[in-house]
Homo-oligomer: A and B are copies of this chain.
């Protein structure tokens, strides 16, 4: 949206890496990426030394790759083998022709805010979202919360989602949170199944830290970053989350705009 956050002119790619881990069966896609690189004269190297990383899998694969490469300046482009695929811009059946364009420099990069979280002395980052959720099936938890140091009370709920703009179309949206359009430097806070009727999604600017405390005497909570469990929020323990310094660097085809993705994924 702003001149600094997106860029769409690139030199031809000279070095790339391909990544395909995770639960999803991607068939011979990695071989097809290698062949496409070969045809384009692109040398396949380690992630750290690549100009571009091709992530083959679902949104989870792309998220993990984006998180791992934070701060390196190496963009990640996704080939979608998952169910949703909001982050991926290349469909498997178009792998050869779309990668040919990308390797010729025809792609855009999008810098997006990430989250930094602290939990019991441990720090971690997330590209999409950090979630605190009851770890006992069928048991609500009570979460005390504060923003920028100001106490906002306690909410009985299944959990809470703190989401970047990138994550706003994922679990946040499923729980009634708003869509944060690309370019926004903010995070959304949305409760999961709040039992109080007055809990509403909030959008918080950079600089305001969210603190979440497990106020349930007897039920533990799990903390997930980008869908992966990173720790536990024991009774009375606190988790803090804020917009981080690092920015994720997603590459897409030039025509794959945010709104086009949104329309294709969510509207009929």
Contacts and interface: CB of A to CB of B under 8 A. Distances in A.
Interface in A117-147: 131, 133, 135, 137-139, 142, 147
Interface stretch (A14-22, A32-40, A97-105, A204-212): A204-212
A210 to B, nearest CB: 10
B137 A207 contact: no
B203 A174 contact: no
A1 B198 contact: no
Contact of A179 (B194, B196, B201, B266): B201
A133 B136 CA distance: 12
B138 A257 contact: no
A122 to B, nearest CB: 18
A81 B268 CA distance: 21
Interface stretch (A41-49, A65-73, A153-161, A245-253): A153-161
A200 B224 contact: no
Counting contact residues on chain A (CB < 8 A from B), the size range is: 35 or more
Nearest to A262: B152
A169 to B, nearest CB: 9
Interface stretch (A88-96, A182-190, A233-241): A182-190
A207 B4 CA distance: 12
How often does this chain occur in the complex, in copies? 4
A244 interface: no
A179 B178 CA distance: 10
Nearest to A168: B203
Given A147-B259, A197-B266, A208 B175 contact: no
A192 interface: yes
Contact of A133 (B137, B142, B181, B185): B137
Nearest to A173: B200
Given A1-B205, A174-B157, A197 B195 contact: no
A194 B131 CA distance: 16
Given A181-B147, A202-B181, A208-B181, A174 B158 contact: yes
Interface in A44-63: none
A23 B197 CA distance: 26
Nearest to A137: B222
A192 B159 CA distance: 12
26 contacts: A1-B208, A131-B138, A133-B137, A138-B222, A139-B227, A150-B257, A150-B259, A150-B260, A152-B259, A176-B176, A177-B178, A178-B200, A178-B202, A179-B203, A180-B203, A181-B208, A183-B208, A184-B203, A185-B205, A192-B193, A193-B193, A197-B200, A198-B266, A198-B267, A200-B266, A268-B268
